[in-house]
Amino acid sequence: MTIDERLYDRRRLRQFLDGRARAEGIDRRALLRLLAAGGALGAAGAALGAGAPGARAASRATGGADPAPGIVKPLPEDAFVVHGTNAETRWSALREVGYHTPNELFFVRNHTVTPTIAAEDWRLTVWGGGLRGGAVEFGLDELRALPATVHTAAVECAGNGRSFFTSQQGETVSGTAWKLGAIGVARWRGVRLAEVLRRAGLRRDAVDVQPRGLDDPYEDSSGNQLGRVRRPLPLAKALDDVLLAYEMNGEPLPPDHGHPVRVVVPSWIGIASIKWVGDIEVSTEPLYSPWNTDLYRLFGPDHPEGGSAPLTRQTLKSAFELDWDAPLVAGERHRLTGRSWSGNAPVRSVEVSVDGGASWRPARLRDTPRADRWVRWSVPWTPTTPGPATLLARATDATGARQPERATFNEQGYLFNAVVRHPVVVTAG
């Protein structure tokens, strides 16, 4: 895979010129010299002396199309599909990759743009009526000095698989048209939220805990100002397994994934895992935000009048580590690989069909199934007849729940759990 460093530098420069980068102690001139030395600057560099607005125009003129405005890391074509401000991981890019999703391949879901936050300037404020005393602040060093916990867990968007409501079920839903790449599994290191709340001094009658991001306030597509991204958690979950993570796969959290600190809520939908967390409100009454009222609930004829309860756990899914319409040579033995996961329980078994669902065979699990993360699997296949074919993978979890043929419709297309029909093309040998 090629990481396009020039594109990366250009994007960083653009953020810098837009005033978004704080450049962590490096002054403007020094940063520009640094970028110029890397060969990333065209006319944009020369224009800087003329002031930021002109420079910005110049960088647009010379920088080419920016595939995902606001995402800092490179998004090589062979690893990502961009949807607006978001980027989904291509499953084919995970094929020869180990268990954890490398940071550079991890999907990005941004409501606005990745902010640049200097770790040394960052403070977390814990506040609200659910505390015994006043607000308490923590710096990164203080969090790092607390007992550390390491947990491997998925972060998966509630809308992962959304496009299949339309392409497989003919239903119209709103939101980003993800295939199955809005998930990643990382090894998160941080401090338990419980530990921080305990130190902040919890009242016995505290009920909700609401982390809020430092990224820009969000304006939805209808022009409604929703404020900063925030979503309450019930105290029971907050005290259970939630982390304030400062490392991802052994590195400081990358900018796009919440640098310097994000919330990680294992087994729950991705929106719970607030990135760039700046403050956490603790309340003695239930809290509401757009992200647990109008958004991230199920609306539609199969759901309660006025909508379901706010969504919590993720659902059951499977994916092949193959591109859409991947070519497979007839007469050769292929090793089909993939991963299955569920927010409800460890995956127990996975079956694969290579004939559009007429017959199923068990896949071999390559990891011990565990909660909060996926299991890799493989199955051999020697196709015989050239032409289009449809692959299906169907997981069953430890509760006995199995992926259905159809997912229950909801207007915003959350929690798609049905078996996905993956097209491939068998080519003549």
Reading the block at residue 346, the tokens are: 């460890």
Cα(342)–Cα(374) distance, rounded to whole angstroms?
Answer: 7
73 binds ligand MTE (CB under 6 A): no
412 binds ligand MTE (CB under 6 A): no
Site string for ligand MTE, 205-224 (x = CB under 6 A): --------x-x---------
Q: Single out the segment in contact with Mo ion by CB under 5 A; choices: 1-9, 31-39, 85-93, 155-163.
A: 155-163
Window 120 to 139, contacts with ligand MTE (CB under 6 A): none
111 binds Mo ion (CB under 5 A): no
Whether residue 260 has a cis bond before it, omega within 30° of 0 = yes
213 binds, among ligand MTE, Mo ion, none (CB under 5 to 8 A by kind): ligand MTE
Window 136 to 175, contacts with ligand MTE (CB under 6 A): 155, 157
Q: Which is nearer to ligand MTE, 195 or 256 (CB)?
A: 256
**Residue of the chain from 10, 73, 109, 259 that contacts Mo ion (CB under 5 A):** 109
245 binds Mo ion (CB under 5 A): no
Q: Which is nearer to ligand MTE, 175 or 300 (CB)?
A: 175
Burial class (CB in 10 A: 0-12, 13-18, 19+), 309: exposed
Reading the block at residue 409, the tokens are: 């419709």
Chain centroid, CA 148 distance in Å: 23
Q: Which is nearer to ligand MTE, 238 or 328 (CB)?
A: 238
Cα(296)–Cα(185) distance, rounded to whole angstroms?
Answer: 21
Reading the block at residue 180, the tokens are: 């199955």
110 binds, among Mo ion, ligand MTE, none (CB under 5 to 8 A by kind): ligand MTE
188 binds ligand MTE (CB under 6 A): no
DSSP 239-272: TTT-EEEEEETTEEPPGGGTTT-EEE-TTB-GGG
73 binds Mo ion (CB under 5 A): no
Alpha helices in 154-309 (DSSP H): 163-167, 193-200, 235-238
CB of 181 to Mo ion, least distance (A): 12
Please choose, from the candidates 254, 265, 314, the residue with its C-alpha nearest in 3D space to the C-alpha of residue 151. Answer: 265
Q: Single out the segment in contact with Mo ion by CB under 5 A; choices: 43-51, 154-162, 310-318, 411-419.
A: 154-162
Cα(33)–Cα(307) distance, rounded to whole angstroms?
Answer: 54
Amino acid found at 99: Y
CB of 408 to ligand MTE, least distance (A): 20
173 binds Mo ion (CB under 5 A): no
**Residue 428: count of CB within 10 angstroms of its CB:** 9
- The 8 Å CB, 24+ separation contacts for 34-42 are 35/9, 38/5, 38/6, 38/9, 39/6, 40/5, 40/6, 40/9, 40/10, 40/13, 41/13
Q: Single out the segment in contact with Mo ion by CB under 5 A; choices: 254-262, 263-271, 293-301, 350-358.
A: 263-271
**Residue of the chain from 179, 189, 192, 257 that contacts ligand MTE (CB under 6 A):** 257
Q: Which is nearer to ligand MTE, 184 or 260 (CB)?
A: 184
128 binds, among Mo ion, ligand MTE, none (CB under 5 to 8 A by kind): none
What kind and span of H or E run contains 208? strand 208-213
CB of 110 to ligand MTE, least distance (A): 5
Length of the chain: 429
Window 89 to 108, contacts with ligand MTE (CB under 6 A): 106-108
270 binds Mo ion (CB under 5 A): yes
Q: What is the contact surface with Mo ion in residues (CB under 5 A)?
A: 109, 157, 270-271
Q: What is the contact surface with ligand MTE in residues (CB under 6 A)?
A: 106-111, 155, 157, 184, 213, 215, 229, 257, 270-271, 273-276
